[in-house]
Amino acid sequence: MKIVIQRVSGASVIIDGIIFSAIEKGLLILLGIEDADTEEDIRWLSQKITQLRIFDDESGVMNRCVKDVNGALLLVSQFTLHASTKKGNRPSYIKASKPDVAIPLYEKMIRQLEQDLGQKIQTGVFGADMKVQLVNDGPVTIIIDSKNKE
């Protein structure tokens, strides 16, 4: 699994011109799933997301996690994170899981994040044409691949 985490002061998902979900202070997480991903990847990434210290403390040092600041999470599936651009100019998405594999893992990630955060999270709609709006705070953007955890 690959994720892009963005610390935000606000983010939303718009589908068909209507706000589907929105958060204020927290993290926008873009999630890419491939066939080799497992529930272990979900558990590891969820812990990483909820415990990553990228919010400022009273001294202005990034020393607090999303839980410490009572932040929210917005999780959006994004198969394009697994794009291969080695050949030519048209990306290949062959490594991205098809919906029959990706949807159950996406749903497990939602449940795991809710368990680890201790509250409901906001999401997009898997496979939908979504417009994602955000105000990146910092800017702070971090990319994590669960295959590089060691």
> Which residues is 32 bridged to in the sheet?
2
CA 124 to CA 11: how far, in whole Å? 11
* pLDDT at residue 150 is higher than 90: no
List the domain range (segments joined by +) for residue 138: 2-148
Angle subtended at Cα 10 by Cα 6 and Cα 16, rounded to the nearest 5 degrees: 100
CA 139 to CA 75: how far, in whole Å? 18
User: Residue 12 sits in a domain of what CATH number?
Assistant: 3.50.80.10
CA 96 to CA 109: how far, in whole Å? 16
The per-residue pLDDT for range 49-96, each reduced to its tens digit, is 999 999 999 999 999 999 999 999 999 999 989 888 988 899 989 889
What average pLDDT does this structure show over 101-113? Answer: 97
Here the tokens at position 86 are 């080695």
Whether residue 34 contacts residue 113, with contact meaning beta carbons closer than 8 Å, is answered with: no
* Helix H or strand E segment including 63: strand 62-64
Tell me the pTM: 0.95
CA 31 to CA 13: how far, in whole Å? 14
* Helix H or strand E segment including 12: strand 2-15
What pLDDT is attached to residue 149? 77
**Looking at this protein, which amino acid is placed at residue 144?**
I
What pLDDT is attached to residue 94? 87
CA 98 to CA 94: how far, in whole Å? 9
Catalytic residues: 80
CA 123 to CA 89: how far, in whole Å? 31
Q: What is the number of domains present in the chain?
A: 1
The per-residue pLDDT for range 6-59, each reduced to its tens digit, is 999 999 999 999 999 999 999 999 999 999 999 999 999 999 999 999 999 999
**Looking at this protein, which amino acid is placed at residue 3?**
I
**Looking at this protein, which amino acid is placed at residue 101?**
V
